[in-house]
Structure 1
């Protein structure tokens, strides 16, 4: 399915899964545009990956999103594939007010839910317009297995990702009503717990909370996850197109359980999900 992807924008490309995807698509010979907060990391990536385009911006700066995205669409009018991957995570307890701050809660929700919604608002019309002209386009939005199965360690992260996966399904429903949308796909990326820097500030706390390293749920190695993602990406869904969700391990299990529980309800209402 990567054959339909030619110009790829990765929002949140300087670390973790986003960085790994940037390297993988670049190695495939795709035109890749990488964005992130850290300009120094972006410059290093551009030196390591000849031909890589980079743009520095922080999606938590909501007021700057329109200018940044409109600039990208002007510079790359043939952009056909977008990955929304940027995110942050904190661990705290609502019953211990000292374990977080209002500012941290607001920033996490802004980065993980509000900003992606604003990005989708600007990017979806562009991809639909290209699709109407015959170009196959794809919008990938990264949620989490925790969007489907929230756990106590990450209160607002789980809630934000749950909201984001709902938005992905809503956007997919709206696409069915849009003219000329047959060439556009909207995909929910549902990773399990992957060994990245996302939880670096609280990993030891969550390990201790689970009873120590021997009892704690281990992360999937990043390289293993990336291999699983791209293997799944190349395998079509039941309709012969890109799968609606691409999960792995706990992410795949959660998606299957969700569909087993809710597909019938949506079908009874006349919706495809």
Structure 2
């Protein structure tokens, strides 16, 4: 992936990891389009930055994705990089019957959203030079957290989809997976200051150093996510899963 002179579309770009990436890519000389549900958040992310633009998008709405993609291609025909970052994480109790609204919203946003947006953009991207698609998954795609089981399942599915997409677009569009560790953002209540999570600025600095590597790695993995990403390959999956879920149980119990 080129370091500069791209036109980059980032979903979920109004806050957290998406905003941090958007501003750092912009600092490197790229035109950046940030998309999300709230125009006020997008405007704050873009404030004072020429060639950074905020467009509203409901990633959970199939019709909105279709019309949004048409608008982006019409208004920014140079767009050559798509970063699927938008996502939600909801705590859930899966050991008994429950209202599945949160689970269904998570699947729609985290999995169907990226698939639909890729489908709407792929022909345009395949016709552009230096095109790339970056799918943001999670370390939890590789070692799931029971308290957010559907979130983890969607990220595991997006990892699998990304592997297939990379093969399908070989020699036409570069396909990259970004799997973050636990980062201090507002993804869940209290997460932005949660001890033990990687500070956002530290994560973003390490992240961009990996993007600057040539060639760009097919998987962008900061050091803190290696424990989860390689747990199964290194024969310590059960150990990693037990440690993760015990930590989460203790943390949530302390907050109640």
- TM-score (structure 1 length as normaliser): 0.79
Q: Equivalent of 2:130, from 136, 142, 166?
A: 136
Other-structure match for 2:148:
154
Indicate if the aligned counterparts of 2:46 and 2:54 stay in contact, CA closer than 8 A: yes
Indicate if the aligned counterparts of 1:69 and 1:123 stay in contact, CA closer than 8 A: yes
Q: Does 1:243 align with 2:217?
A: yes
Q: In structure 2, do the counterparts of structure 1 residues 10 and 155 end up closer, same or farther at CA, with 3 Å as the change threshold?
A: same
Q: Equivalent of 1:230, from 208, 216, 232?
A: 208
Q: Does 1:53 align with 2:47?
A: no
SS in 2 for 1:111: helix
Other-structure match for 1:69:
69
SS in 2 for 1:82: strand
Q: Does 1:172 align with 2:146?
A: no
Count of residues paired in the alignment: 235
SS in 2 for 1:165: helix
Q: Show structure 1 runs of 4+ deviating over 6 A.
A: 258-261
Unaligned runs of 5+ in 1: 205-212, 262-273
- For 1:136 and 1:2, the matched residues in 2 are separated by 7
Indicate if the aligned counterparts of 2:210 and 2:216 stay in contact, CA closer than 8 A: no
Q: In structure 2, do the counterparts of structure 1 residues 259 and 6 end up closer, same or farther at CA, with 3 Å as the change threshold?
A: farther
Indicate if the aligned counterparts of 1:105 and 1:156 stay in contact, CA closer than 8 A: yes
- For 2:119 and 2:228, the matched residues in 1 are separated by 27
Other-structure match for 1:193:
182
Other-structure match for 2:26:
26
Shift of 1:2: 4.1
Shift of 1:47: 3.1
Q: In structure 2, do the counterparts of structure 1 residues 124 and 257 end up closer, same or farther at CA, with 3 Å as the change threshold?
A: farther
- TM-score (structure 2 length as normaliser): 0.84
